[in-house]
Structure 1
Amino acid sequence: MRTQVCIIGAGPSGLLLSQLLHRKGIDTIVLERKTKAYVLSRIRAGVLERGFVDLMREAGVGARMDVEGFTHDGTLIAYDNHQFRVDFAARAGASVMVYGQTELTRDLYEAREAMDGQILYNVDDVQIEDVTTQSPHVTFAMDGKSHRIECDYVVGCDGFHGVSRKTIPEEKRREYEKIYPFGWLGILSETPPVHHELIYANSDRGFALCSMRNDNLSRYYVQCPLDHRPDDWSDAAFWEELKRRIPDAAADQLITGPSIEKSIAPLRSFVTEPMRWGQLFLCGDAAHIVPPTGAKGLNTAASDIFYLYHGMMQHYLHGEDEGLERYSEKALARVWKAERFSWWMSNLLHRYPDQGAFDRKMQLADLAYLEQSEAAQISMAENYVGLPY
């Protein structure tokens, strides 16, 4: 097989890049280790920065998002049994879109299939070869047979545990990591959201988040110890704990119900440098991970796709390589800003096991400053809606 760009990973970032390139006449093949149904079964966040929304529209897959998504012009921050609002529209002149990752991935699959895009599922033993030459290739097994794809470039969108990052020699990459000493216990319930915007709550008992997928599907989280398991928490125990961590006014309006999904996610910050090695480019979780506080995971992947898409357009349509040569530099500059924002939000809202009385007072002072300072709210809003590409 032969293609211009071989993309490893058929999650939203790999599909989005494939769709964008296809519309510019650039050929791709996407390899996926799992099935389409498995990819669509993954429950993930759905807060989209303005830049991601624009990319979906440019890719021709924004129609359903524009109809069914929820535009959020602000968010609520809660502490000391009260809440205040950060107005994104007023402070940053922009908004975010709440649209589930499962739904946008479904839109991308439908678009790729409508255009006869090549997506190969259930591939195994993927190997990336000769990326430091002008003739890279990818080998893999599928249906018990060995296959090989010749290509110009390889793009790794295969996540933290994928083969792409590990293809870069260990002595040639530098990795930065922070493991947070807690996790998020999350449930999905077929109940109306407690509020039409997200509520981020800091309490003496730990962090909580009230989110949503649509008018009748809510997503809630509470901070929990890393050694807890979902089975340790009954639905009743979860709802009771959530009510303790959000302001009374919100708790009184909370509609509870059976959970239809329950899981615990650990929190980590991770970045690998560089994000390019020869003809191999890393995107999304293959290169960086942020804690979910601040909703940057999917959005940092989108910014990677933006830089790489434009670099490949310059190369194939205009014969210019500046965009590809500077891809790692540009992507990492924005990634580190997103990492800083997610780290700051995590420190602002969570209770740490070793947090002393002084640390707690500093945290409350930071929250009070955010509530009272227009400058602080502008900074938060600009980061939350997404810094310019």
Structure 2
Amino acid sequence: MARTQVGIVGAGPAGLLLSYLLHAEGIDAVVIEARSREYVERRVRAGVCEHPTVELLREIGVGARLDAEGLPHHGFSLRFDGEDHRIALTELTGKAITVYGQQEIVKDLIAAHEAKGYPVEFEVSDVALHDLDTEDPRVTYRDSAGNRRELVCDVVAGCDGFHGISRPSIPAGAIRTFEREYPFAWLGVLARTAPSHEELIYAYHERGFALHSMRSPEITRLYLQVPHDEKIDAWPDEEIWSELALRLETGDERFSLREGPILDKGITPMRSFVTEPMRYGRLFLAGDAAHIVPPTGAKGMNLAVADVTVLSRALVELLRYNRSGLAESYSDTCLKRVWRAEHFSWYMTSMLHVDPAADDFGRRLQLSQLRYTASSRAAATSLAENYVGLPFA
């Protein structure tokens, strides 16, 4: 049996960042993760870092590689009616976003933990949470060698994602969940080719949504809207490139879709999901364990960062000073931002995707909203303000 102040389940951005923030304040924490270190460092996920996320990573001393290799973006394009309509993020808000893969942030945080000797255990199994409604919650698991371990904590942080064990460990009826599933999915590919455009392109097309993004000057990330029950085997590489070219076409000779070897491809379902409250007893949920947003608004990882920023302050107050106010208000504080992000992600999704059940009336409403957003400085500013990220609470 071992003891720590905070047991953290999950070594994604939320769990690792929470651990790092707590250790910086003298609070002991142990991170456990079911996957291998190699897996979590290679797991391709989000790539857009909001302005507050970038500022925080710099502030705590893990932003050096982000500054060296990340790609600052001062705008993006809404592509519809065969034309680009640029949303000038920096001009409208004074802020920018940075394209830097989630897996790169995970690498940076793991390296920072390693350098300082902060404990992270990979490849654990049989994880279970106990006594969450007491002052001594426990985490039991088997370590990578198969040995049975028990971790007695003051607090448990569930940062293990939508499919993790933390949220299901809460007794039935203790929390409410709100969910919406969308009738389409994203087919995403990672290609070894230079990006075809210097900024992101969000394209509305009668055949469905498409997104042009990037991960580096040599790697491009692209997405296609597909039916929610689509199978990846239905999409050979040549068909993917053909459909991307069709949906991203503008007739402008300055744009040409660059093709290259596809390194990875998969299909991601689209859903919105929120847990209320984000706490049960001494278990605090953060990131995807508590909420999911459609990826259209680029909010998932950034919401996780916002959650653990609030949680770290609350736990320092609780565990160092025995003041519970911030811990008691943790869920309410986070949920204000969560629901704002849910609305923005729904707005971007509903404006840009073709709903298979929509009629011509609905599609004309979408085009009307796109045209208004692109032509109104007030509408564009509202979109830009949400996209670059609202200040952390």
After TM superposition, the structure 1 = structure 2 runs for residues 269-348 of structure 1, keeping only pairs within 5 Å, are 269-348=272-351
- Note the alpha carbon deviations across 1:181-205, whole angstroms, 9 max, x for none: 1111111111111111100000111
Aligned to 1:166: 168
1:151 Cα deviation from its structure 2 partner:
1.0
Aligned to 1:59: 60
Q: Structure 2: how far apart are the matches of 1:326 and 1:72? A: 34
Q: Structure 2: how far apart are the matches of 1:300 and 1:266? A: 19
TM-score, length of structure 2 as denominator length: 0.97
Aligned to 2:97: 96
Report whether the alignment pairs 1:362 with 2:365. Answer: yes
Aligned to 1:268: 271
Q: Structure 1: how far apart are the matches of 2:136 and 2:105? A: 34
Query: Please, which moves more after superposition, 36-45 or 199-208?
Result: 36-45
The answer (yes or no) to whether the contact 2:196–2:255 under 8 Å persists in 1 is: no
Query: Please, which moves more after superposition, 243-252 or 292-301?
Result: 243-252
Of 189, 195, 198 in structure 2, the residue corresponding to residue 196 of structure 1 is: 198
Q: Structure 2: how far apart are the matches of 1:251 and 1:138? A: 57
SS across alignment from 2:113: helix
- Note the alpha carbon deviations across 1:154-191, whole angstroms, 9 max, x for none: 00001111111112112111111111111111111111
| Residues 100/357 of structure 1: CA separation in 2 closer, same or farther (3 Å cut) | same
Aligned structure 1 segments of 4 or more residues deviating by more than 6 angstroms:
none
The answer (yes or no) to whether the contact 2:12–2:40 under 8 Å persists in 1 is: yes
1:79 Cα deviation from its structure 2 partner:
0.4
The answer (yes or no) to whether the contact 1:194–1:250 under 8 Å persists in 2 is: no
1:11 Cα deviation from its structure 2 partner:
0.9
The answer (yes or no) to whether the contact 2:182–2:228 under 8 Å persists in 1 is: no
User: RMSD value over aligned CA atoms?
Assistant: 1.2
Of 377, 382, 386 in structure 1, the residue corresponding to residue 380 of structure 2 is: 377
| Residues 355/197 of structure 1: CA separation in 2 closer, same or farther (3 Å cut) | same
SS across alignment from 1:326: helix
Q: Structure 1: how far apart are the matches of 2:109 and 2:338? A: 24
1:321 Cα deviation from its structure 2 partner:
2.1
Aligned to 2:180: 178
SS across alignment from 1:138: strand
- Note the alpha carbon deviations across 1:100-156, whole angstroms, 9 max, x for none: 111111011100011111111221121111121111111112233221111110000
Q: Structure 1: how far apart are the matches of 2:365 and 2:254? A: 26
SS across alignment from 1:163: coil
The answer (yes or no) to whether the contact 1:192–1:217 under 8 Å persists in 2 is: yes
1:317 Cα deviation from its structure 2 partner:
4.3
1:272 Cα deviation from its structure 2 partner:
0.9
The answer (yes or no) to whether the contact 1:243–1:251 under 8 Å persists in 2 is: no
SS across alignment from 2:98: strand
Q: Structure 2: how far apart are the matches of 1:56 and 1:317? A: 24
Name the amino acid aligned to 1:339.
E
SS across alignment from 2:233: helix
Aligned sequence identity (%): 48
- Note the alpha carbon deviations across 1:44-76, whole angstroms, 9 max, x for none: 121001111122123321111011111111110
The answer (yes or no) to whether the contact 2:14–2:305 under 8 Å persists in 1 is: yes
Q: Structure 2: how far apart are the matches of 1:310 and 1:20? A: 9
The answer (yes or no) to whether the contact 1:124–1:140 under 8 Å persists in 2 is: yes
The answer (yes or no) to whether the contact 2:197–2:255 under 8 Å persists in 1 is: no
Q: Structure 1: how far apart are the matches of 2:253 and 2:65? A: 30
1:357 Cα deviation from its structure 2 partner:
0.7
Q: Structure 2: how far apart are the matches of 1:137 and 1:230? A: 41
Q: Structure 2: how far apart are the matches of 1:165 and 1:181? A: 25
The answer (yes or no) to whether the contact 1:20–1:58 under 8 Å persists in 2 is: no
SS across alignment from 2:4: coil
Structure 1: any 5+ residue segments left out of the alignment? Answer: none
After TM superposition, the structure 1 = structure 2 runs for residues 11-30 of structure 1, keeping only pairs within 5 Å, are 11-30=12-31
| Residues 172/192 of structure 1: CA separation in 2 closer, same or farther (3 Å cut) | same
Q: Structure 2: how far apart are the matches of 1:161 and 1:141? A: 19
1:360 Cα deviation from its structure 2 partner:
0.7
Aligned to 1:138: 139
